[in-house]
């Protein structure tokens, strides 16, 4: 855990500097007029705000992704003890991955990977 | 900070090009010059280069773009007709009438960087949807929300092709967008990035003199079209190469063939396949036809705008832009109701 | 074990490495682009990123009508900080990396996953249609390439019997991972291109949406975002040099010099991929990632596993 300290320090330091660089130069500038703040549409006009209940058509995909992520959590320690455990480790993980791949196959056949 | 200013003056000038009437695709060739850098959003530019005629609706769109240019930016108007009617955004622009505006653009860039006097906005400083209602404080009114909401409306739901009813974004994407031919404006309704319905509208490009070199035929016109198609596909370096070839007159057939080979190997045709299928032909085959640079393969029948609009329904927005550009004619678009 | 940097030196070292790395990315990207465009770039190329940065510094930052100001300020900073924390795990010599945590790969994976959040927030914050579109389509690609990274890194961890980066580099003393696990580096390149939205996977900042999440960013906030993207690409180049190209191993030259050479080589590869390959549409990439690349990831894992059994 002692080794995490420099990593977190690097994160905090660069975060602070980048945040200051983004915020500080324009902090006291007046807000530009309304036409300068319109959304960029190449000369066009929008009718509504952009923020909306956006139809993210890939939402089934995110569920498959979460399943694989949970599997990744098990693979991290598995990788460390793999050489010690030998073929049984390979077989175990193979079964695990095969079962999850059935999920991907199902998603593919059910056209979760296409969204038109 | 004079060091910064001197560095900035020698930088490649980020320029946003707005193509108007009489410009054709001539401004596309400017990206061949390494002293310029074409950008897709006016927010990234220091110079707005307006090429051609801008009147009526085109002028209104140019005014909007002008105000979205950062306040330190400069405007250059490249026209063969300096006495034509100009929109308010071009009232104080530097007018250039010659064949090659690069020096004028660079001078404008240096001015924009070294003397940042703020440019005044052209349109009125008003919120796009002011607060309306019945009462003294704007409250009350009809409808579910008791009056028109302050500022812009929020998106409303509508049914979608897959049974969900989420929000739709109706918008007009203006004539000065990468992937749209000159003067074409798209009124689209997007839901989740997929076009639900779209309508292409050709704005009036006016009558008058065209820029010298705006009309091109054969391989030169195909190369200009290709340069924009490559920028649309994210291949800026290849686009500059195609623009260089076009600027040199497109006489070197071997060089054109090399560019075509690089384009085929880049995966752009694969990205365009099965997109925008109209009359059995998809965008890929239209691209392949252009890549042959065949001077004899002229006279493609122009397609009516509503036909293309119908073909866009159900496509992803970036695929819709590919479809529109794959139909773009290589010359100046005929005005009014004819196809882009 | 390896030396860690002091917590006061760590931010400076990370920022310094990323500053040099990002500048190198910019110069190499311009050089490769200029060569491809046949535009004969001169020595002036070396200062060109500085000049373009000066232009951005002279521009005012734009505002939109109703932005999420907190997220607009935090997202470039988050993205830059994630590149910094990612580069701290990379070992530069036998005895030095900024933060040689025992679970280095996990820290790297964390930074990678949060990149998707930073990218999405950047597109969301300006309340503008094209950045929002770009942000949503990027998330689709993001969840698709993220798994590849974990598979290839775990495959590299197997022969090293450790998740620690310094051990992984030491395990390549005999043979580099790019030779004994050949699928690893190409898949990792895909992840690198995606995390920095570069080239064929430039879905978040694409030219077909007028610059995507950066469409409304100008001035210094735009500069910070561009720098963060280049820094992320440099961090990925350094990581791939460490994990697949043998890290600091090499004759004659000292370790850090070899790391620098290999990192520059990877930056060139990534830059060439950016200039030569067209943007892959999001839907197509998603299908391709799950149906083709993921089985290749499995294959890479199998090769690593079988190779380590002997």
* Cβ–Cβ < 8 Å for B327, B311: no
Residue B119 has pLDDT above 50, yes or no: yes
* Alpha carbon separation from B192 to C11, C124, C127 (Å, rounded): 40, 14, 15
Residue B144, judged by CB atoms within 10 A of its CB (0-12, 13-18, 19+), counts as exposed
Where do the structural domains in chain B lie, given as residue ranges?
2-114, 129-159, 168-340
Distance (Å, whole) CA C242 – CA C176: 10
Distance (Å, whole) CA A36 – CA A29: 14
Out of A34-38, B307-311, B329-333, C134-138, least confident range: B329-333
Test mutation, B3, B41, B193, chain C, max C CBs within 10 A: B41
Mean pLDDT taken over chain A: 90
Distance (Å, whole) CA C87 – CA C236: 8
Q: Which residues does residue A23 pair with via DSSP β-bridges, in sequence order?
A: none
Sheet holding B156-159: strands in order across? B156-159, B165-173, B184-191, B194-202
- All residue ranges of chain C with pLDDT < 70 are 1-3, 310
* Cβ–Cβ < 8 Å for B176, B19: yes
Least Cα distance to B183 among B315, B85, B30, B51 occurs for B51
First to last CA, chain A: 47
Q: What is the pLDDT of residues C93-126, one digit of tens each?
A: 998 899 999 999 999 999 999 999 999 999 999 9
Distance from CA of C303 to the nearest CA of A (A): 11
Question: Could you tell me where the beta strands, DSSP code E, fall in A1-106?
Answer: none
* Cβ–Cβ < 8 Å for C164, C170: no
pLDDT at B307: 84
The beta-carbon neighbor of A44 closest among B63, B169, B185 is: B185
Assign B147 to helix, strand or coil: coil
CATH homologous superfamily of A4-34+55-109 equals NADH:ubiquinone/plastoquinone oxidoreductase, chain 3 (1.20.58.1610)
Tokens for C8, please give them.
Answer: 């006061």
**Cα A8 to chain center, whole Å?**
20
Confidence band of B140 (pLDDT split at 50, 70, 90): low
Average pLDDT over residues B165-189: 92
Residues of A in contact with B73 (CB under 8 A): none
Question: What is the predicted ipTM?
Answer: 0.94
Neighbour subunits, A (≥3 Cβ pairs < 8 A): B, C
Residue B46 has pLDDT above 70, yes or no: yes
b or e along B283-309 (b: 16 or more beta carbons within 10 Å of the residue's beta carbon)? Answer: bbebbbebbebeeeeeeeeebebeebb
Residue B339 has pLDDT above 50, yes or no: no
Residue B131 has pLDDT above 70, yes or no: no
Out of A84-98, B37-51, C189-203, C238-252, least confident range: A84-98
Confidence band of B332 (pLDDT split at 50, 70, 90): very low
Distance (Å, whole) CA B59 – CA B39: 21
Q: Which residues does residue B148 pair with via DSSP β-bridges, in sequence order?
A: none
Residues of B in contact with C281 (CB under 8 A): 271, 316, 318-319
pLDDT at A60: 86
pLDDT at B2: 86
Q: For residue A39, give the chain B residue with the closest CA.
A: B68
Are the beta carbons of C228 and A18 separated by less than 8 Å? yes
Tokens for B262, please give them.
Answer: 């690089």
Average pLDDT over residues B290-303: 72
Instruction: Give helix C219-244 / helix C104-125 axis angle, nearest 10°.
Output: 160
Assign B332 to helix, strand or coil: coil
Distance (Å, whole) CA B298 – CA B217: 9
Give the dihedral sign, CA C66/A22/C216/B88.
Answer: positive
pLDDT at B333: 45
**Cα B295 to chain center, whole Å?**
26
Q: What is the pLDDT of residues B225-265, one digit of tens each?
A: 999 999 999 999 999 999 999 999 888 899 999 999 999 99
pLDDT at B334: 39
Q: What's the pTM value of the predicted model, to 2 decimals?
A: 0.94
The beta-carbon neighbor of A41 closest among B126, B173, B315 is: B173
- φ, ψ of residue C281 to 5 degrees: the values are -60, 145
Mean pLDDT taken over chain B: 86
* Alpha carbon separation from B110 to B103, B129, C41 (Å, rounded): 11, 37, 21
pLDDT at B144: 52
Residue B141 has pLDDT above 60, yes or no: no
- φ, ψ of residue B128 to 5 degrees: the values are -65, -30
3-state helix, strand, coil in chain B (%, to 5): 35, 15, 50
**How many CB atoms are located within 10 Å of the residue B104 CB?**
20
Q: What is the pLDDT of residues B55-88, one digit of tens each?
A: 899 999 999 999 999 989 999 999 998 888 889 9
Q: For residue A53, give the chain B residue with the closest CA.
A: B167
- φ, ψ of residue C51 to 5 degrees: the values are -65, -45
pLDDT at C6: 85
CATH number (3.40.50.12280, 3.40.50.720, 3.40.50.620, 3.20.20.70) of B2-114 reads 3.40.50.12280
Tokens for C62, please give them.
Answer: 């734009």
Least Cα distance to C228 among C117, C86, C82 occurs for C82
Where do the structural domains in chain A lie, given as residue ranges?
4-34+55-109
pLDDT at B206: 87
pLDDT at B337: 35
């Amino acid at each position: 855990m002692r080794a995490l300290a420099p990593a977190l320090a690097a994160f905090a330091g660069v975060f602070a500097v980048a945040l200051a660089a983004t915020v500080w130069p324009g902090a006291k500038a007046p807000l530009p007029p309304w036409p300068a703040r319109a959304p960029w549409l190449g000369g066009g006009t929008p009718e509504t705000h952009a923020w909306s209940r956006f139809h993210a058509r890939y939402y089934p995909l995110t569920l498959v992704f979460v399943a694989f992520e949970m599997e990744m959590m098990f693979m991290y320690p598995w990788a460390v003890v793999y050489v010690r455990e030998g073929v049984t480790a390979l077989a175990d993980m193979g079964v695990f991955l095969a079962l999850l791949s059935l999920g991907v196959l199902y998603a593919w056949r059910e056209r979760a990977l296409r969204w038109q | 900070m004079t060091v910064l200013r001197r560095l900035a003056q020698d930088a490649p000038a980020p320029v946003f090009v707005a193509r108007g009437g009489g410009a054709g695709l001539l401004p596309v060739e400017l990206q061949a010059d390494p002293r310029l850098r074409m950008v897709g959003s006016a927010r990234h530019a220091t110079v707005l280069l307006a090429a051609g005629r801008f009147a009526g609706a085109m002028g209104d769109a140019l005014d909007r773009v002008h105000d979205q240019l950062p306040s330190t930016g400069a405007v250059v108007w490249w026209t063969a007709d300096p006495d034509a009617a100009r929109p308010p955004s071009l009232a104080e622009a530097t007018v250039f009438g010659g064949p090659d505006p690069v020096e004028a653009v660079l001078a404008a860039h240096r001015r924009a960087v070294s003397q940042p006097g703020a440019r005044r906005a052209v349109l009125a400083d008003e919120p796009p949807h002011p607060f309306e209602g019945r009462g003294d404080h704007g409250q009350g009114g009809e409808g579910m929300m008791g009056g028109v909401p302050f500022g812009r409306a929020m998106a409303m739901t509508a049914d979608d092709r897959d049974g969900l009813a989420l929000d739709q974004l109706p918008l007009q994407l203006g004539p000065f967008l990468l992937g749209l031919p000159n003067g074409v404006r798209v009124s689209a309704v997007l839901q989740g990035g997929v076009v639900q319905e779209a309508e292409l509208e050709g704005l009036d490009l006016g009558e008058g003199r065209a820029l010298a070199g705006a009309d091109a035929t054969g391989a030169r016109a195909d190369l200009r079209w290709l340069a924009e198609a490559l920028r649309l596909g994210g291949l800026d370096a290849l686009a500059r190469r195609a623009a260089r070839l076009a600027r040199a007159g497109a006489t070197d057939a071997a060089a054109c063939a090399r560019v075509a080979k690089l384009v085929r190997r880049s995966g752009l045709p694969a990205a365009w396949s099965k997109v925008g299928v109209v009359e059995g032909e998809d965008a890929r085959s239209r691209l392949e036809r252009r890549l042959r640079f065949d001077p004899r393969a002229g006279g493609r029948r122009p397609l009516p705008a509503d036909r293309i609009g119908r073909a866009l329904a159900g496509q992803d927005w970036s695929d819709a832009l590919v479809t529109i550009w794959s139909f773009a004619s290589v010359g100046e678009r005929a005005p009014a109701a004819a196809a882009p | 074990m390896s030396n860690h940097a002091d917590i006061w030196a760590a931010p400076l070292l990370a920022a310094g490495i990323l500053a040099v790395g990002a500048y190198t990315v910019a110069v190499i990207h311009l050089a490769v682009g200029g060569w491809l465009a046949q535009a004969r770039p001169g020595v002036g190329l070396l200062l060109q990123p500085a000049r373009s940065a000066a232009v951005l510094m002279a521009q005012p930052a734009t505002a939109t009508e109703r932005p999420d100001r907190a997220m607009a300020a935090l997202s470039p900073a988050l993205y830059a900080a994630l590149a910094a924390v990612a580069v701290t795990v990379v070992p530069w010599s036998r005895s030095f990396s900024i933060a040689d945590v025992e679970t280095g790969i996990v820290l790297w994976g964390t930074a990678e996953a949060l990149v998707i959040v930073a990218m999405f927030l950047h597109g969301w914050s300006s309340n503008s249609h094209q950045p929002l579109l770009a942000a949503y389509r990027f998330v689709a690609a993001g969840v698709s390439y993220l798994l590849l990274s974990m598979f290839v890194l775990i495959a590299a961890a197997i022969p090293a019997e450790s998740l620690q980066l310094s051990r992984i580099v030491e395990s390549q003393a005999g043979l580099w991972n790019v030779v004994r696990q050949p699928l690893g580096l190409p898949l990792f390149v895909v992840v690198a291109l995606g995390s920095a939205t570069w080239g064929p996977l430039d879905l978040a900042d694409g030219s077909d949406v007028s610059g995507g999440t950066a469409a409304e960013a100008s001035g210094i906030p735009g500069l910070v975002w561009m720098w963060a993207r280049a820094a992320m690409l440099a961090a990925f180049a350094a990581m791939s040099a460490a994990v697949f190209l043998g890290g600091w191993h090499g004759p004659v030259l000292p370790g850090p010099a070899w790391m620098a050479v290999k990192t520059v080589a990877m930056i060139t590869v990534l830059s060439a991929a950016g200039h030569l390959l067209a943007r892959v549409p999001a839907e197509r990439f998603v299908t391709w990632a799950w149906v083709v690349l993921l089985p290749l990831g499995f294959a890479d894992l199998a090769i690593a596993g079988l190779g380590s059994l002997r």
